[in-house]
Structures are given as structure tokens and as C-alpha cells.
Structure 1
Amino acid sequence: MDDSNDIPLLGQDELVARIESLDPARRHIVAVAGAPGSGKSTFAEWLAGELEKSRPGEIAVLPMDGFHFDDIVLNARGHRPRKGAPHTFDTGGLAAMLARLAADDGSEIAVPVFDRAIEIARAGARIIGPEARLIIAEGNYLLLDDPSWAPVRRFFDLTVMLDVPEEELHRRLTARWTGFKLDSAEIERKVEGNDMPNARLVIAKSVPADMTVRFASLPKA
């Protein structure tokens, strides 16, 4: 899915100001959560760019998708059709990574990044160095009210939820799968059989965020 023309609406200035008010003397982790298709990656990169203007070199992004279980594990467990659902992520690994980042011990840390072109996470694909004073963690389930996901929340200094209407999520998710050259029936099975149930779960079962930001898609110029 191409979110390149999405822009944040209602509250983005307040969000940037709130983050900039955090004590710069220590490292902070900000969580950006939202349903599949809500544009979290685009928003996180936009937010990082805005913060870089006043704090160059001090901002880093940690994508939750890097902690997908590999397809080998999902196939062995019979979970491949639900890839992207909450139980298909290594939540313990994510919590351990957040703990390392929060420790702020002066070391550089290699983090995994999900390669959507091959639907596989690449280990050590991004380095977060000691100069990073603010980490933006982004992902669907960072605020999910679930025992498996609850341990990650203790590392967040500020939490943000992206609010996108369900019909817009459906449109974006359909467009995402269209890029994989699937037929319409297979796209519908993926969207309605997995993506939208996951989206509805995030909307209904996430704990309240510190801030909610409306994030809408505008037509291309």
C-alpha cells in the first residue's frame, strides 16, 4: 500500500509539542499504535522527520513488524493464514528489545525490520545508536489489552493511537494486496479473513492512548 500522500490531521502539532517537552536528558520511547492499514509507518516517519528538525540525529524508529515470527514457525504451528494477528509475533523478543533500548547504556543496538516485498523480517536490518534520544515504536498491537502484549507497555513514556475510519482501512488493505497480483477472491479472503478482524480487534481492545490523532488519506494532486 502506498501511504505517501497521507498526512496527519487534527492534533499533529500538539503531539510534536508534547514530545518535544519530554526531558532531553534521557532517552524516551513513544508508541504509535493503530489498526492494520492506518498508516503507522508513514506517520512514524513523518513524526521522526518533524522531530529531526530540532533534534537532528537524535530520533530513531522501531517497527513492531520486525518481530513477526518467520513463516517456518507459522507453518509449523498452522498459523500462516493468520500472519499479522497478535499471536504471530514474538512479544517476548519485542519486550526484550524495548528493555535494551530503555537501558540506554551507550551501546548501539541492531533491530529487525520487516521487508514487505518478501513478507519476512530481516534481522539486524537497522542500527539504533547511543545518540538516539527518542525512539518511536510503531505497530498494531502496542496498546492491545492482552496479557501477551501488556509487558511492552511499561517501556512507553507517551502513547499515540491513530484513528482511521473502518471503511478507509478496508480500502487501504485491499489496495495493499492488489500490489501482490492476487485475484479479487483471494484479496477478499485475506482482507476479510485476517486483516479486518485484526483491525477491529485493535480498535475495540486497545487500552486508551495518551493522545489520539486522526490520520486520513487525501487524493493525489
Structure 2
Amino acid sequence: MAGLDALVADIEARAEAAAGARIVVGIAGAPGSGKSTAAAAVIDRLGTEAALVPMDGFHLADEQLQALGRRDRKGAPDTFDAAGYVALLARCRAAGRDVVYAPRFVREIEESYAQAIAVPPSARVVLTEGNYLLLDVEPWNELDRVTDVRYHLDVDEDVRLERLIARHVAFGKSPEEARAWSLGPDEANARLIAASAHRADALLRL
């Protein structure tokens, strides 16, 4: 699948086929692939009929990562509250009468704010984006049952790396630190994500 128009049309068709039931849509991809940008563009197109719940809100706090000895590889699968993420998306998908609140990750401080995102009952599409939506290990693979469709965002590797380094620099790393992190922990995660891309319902190029 190529282009934002095709993606939005596919999501709208799936929402229409759901006949009033809420659907949960996932966009997966490696760090720097453009997931957040794509998700924001979809939300802009769908307006109030959609709500965005990013996976990044479920980062474990640095305090917990330090205690677990995982702070130096923040962003790896075991540095997230994956079970909490699955449970919250299950609540979203149930589409009851209550507002569902989700956490938001703030890059400027590298921490999450609890209950910062409101998913109103009126949202017929809940969009989520993140690295590990297609990972086939517990508890990540429980996302299979709480999402209706998942896309894997495919992008040229040189472009992805350039974006990723620029993002790290923008949020405070030196160019040397940004490149080292991008080619170290981020690259290890990117390989893991690429290995699970075949589990997507569709490949997406924007």
C-alpha cells in the first residue's frame, strides 16, 4: 500500500464495515520510520472520529529502568509495560460509554504523563503506533486479539537513520551520541522489528 490517501481510505472502509463497532488500528515500524508523523496525518484526516494512543506512553519510568538495570537500552521490548498497553487497548476496543484515559510520552523529559490522553466514546477508530505491535512474543503477541488491522511502515534505511539521528540531536544528544545510540540500541531494536514485519496485514510506504 502506498500513500496517505490509500491508508486513510482503507481505515475508513474497515470502520464502515464494522457497522458502528469501534476498531483499533496499529501502525508499526522501526525507530525513525515515521510512525508518529503518519499517525498524526491520519488523525488530522479523520478528525474527531479517531483518537491516538501511542505505544510510547507505556515506557517504564527511568526510576524503574535503573532498578532493573535496563536504562542503557531504553526502548527495547522489555523496557515497556507491554501488558498494560494490551489491557488499555482492550478497554479502548470495548467502546463503552466511559472515556478511556491513556499515558503520553514526553520526549523532552523522557518520561510519561499518566492519563494525559482521553479516548472519548464517540471515537469510532482508535489509532496506535509503535515499534513492537507485530512482535510474536508474550505479552506483545496479545495485541493480535485487541487490534483489527496493523500496518508495517516501510522506509529506506538511509532515510530512516538520517531522521533518527536528527531526532536524537533535537532532543539533546550530541551528534556523536545520537549516531552511537542510533547504530547501537536503536539498530538492535530495528532488526527485531524487521523480523516481525511479515505479521502485518499490509506493508505501507508513505
TM-score bin (small chain) = over 0.9
Name the SS of the counterpart of 1:138 in structure 2.
strand
The residue type equivalent to 2:150 in the other structure is T
- Structure 1 position 21 matched with structure 2 position 16: no
The residue type equivalent to 1:48 in the other structure is I
Assess, with a 3 A threshold, how the Cα gap between structure 1 residues 178 and 132 changes in structure 2: closer, same or farther: same
Determine if contact 1:141/1:206 at 8 Å carries over to the other structure.
Answer: no
Determine if contact 1:44/1:61 at 8 Å carries over to the other structure.
Answer: yes
The residue type equivalent to 2:132 in the other structure is Y
| Partner in structure 1 of residue 69 of structure 2 | 78
Q: Structure 2: give runs of 5+ residues left out of the alignment.
A: none
Note the aligned Cα RMSD (angstroms). Answer: 1.5
Residues in 2 aligned to 1:207 and 1:150: alpha-carbon distance in whole angstroms: 13
What TM-score results when the alignment is normalised by the length of structure 1?
0.86
Determine if contact 1:145/1:207 at 8 Å carries over to the other structure.
Answer: no
- Structure 1 position 144 matched with structure 2 position 135: yes
Assess, with a 3 A threshold, how the Cα gap between structure 1 residues 180 and 159 changes in structure 2: closer, same or farther: closer
| Partner in structure 2 of residue 43 of structure 1 | 38
Residues in 1 aligned to 2:19 and 2:120: alpha-carbon distance in whole angstroms: 16
Cα deviation, residue 207, structure 1: 4.0
Cα displacement string for residues 89-142 of structure 1 (whole angstroms, at most 9, x for unaligned residues) = 101100110111111111001110100111101101111111111100111101
Determine if contact 1:144/1:207 at 8 Å carries over to the other structure.
Answer: no
Cα deviation, residue 197, structure 1: 1.4
Cα displacement string for residues 11-45 of structure 1 (whole angstroms, at most 9, x for unaligned residues) = 43332222112224111101111111111111011
Residues in 2 aligned to 1:146 and 1:15: alpha-carbon distance in whole angstroms: 27
Determine if contact 1:174/1:187 at 8 Å carries over to the other structure.
Answer: yes
- Structure 1 position 167 matched with structure 2 position 171: no
Residues in 1 aligned to 2:172 and 2:22: alpha-carbon distance in whole angstroms: 43
Residues in 2 aligned to 1:81 and 1:180: alpha-carbon distance in whole angstroms: 17
What TM-score results when the alignment is normalised by the length of structure 2?
0.92
| Partner in structure 1 of residue 175 of structure 2 | 184
Residues in 1 aligned to 2:168 and 2:95: alpha-carbon distance in whole angstroms: 38
Q: Structure 1: give runs of 5+ residues left out of the alignment.
A: 1-8, 216-221
Determine if contact 2:59/2:80 at 8 Å carries over to the other structure.
Answer: yes
> Equivalences for 1:128-143 in 2 at 5 Å?
128-143=119-134
Cα displacement string for residues 61-86 of structure 1 (whole angstroms, at most 9, x for unaligned residues) = 01000000000110001100110111
Pairs aligned (count) = 203
Normalized per residue, which structure has more helix?
2
Cα displacement string for residues 171-198 of structure 1 (whole angstroms, at most 9, x for unaligned residues) = 1111111123433332232112211111
Assess, with a 3 A threshold, how the Cα gap between structure 1 residues 181 and 112 changes in structure 2: closer, same or farther: closer
Determine if contact 1:48/1:61 at 8 Å carries over to the other structure.
Answer: yes
Name the SS of the counterpart of 2:205 in structure 1.
strand
Residues in 2 aligned to 1:196 and 1:33: alpha-carbon distance in whole angstroms: 15
Query: Percent identity over the alignment?
Result: 44
The residue type equivalent to 1:12 in the other structure is L
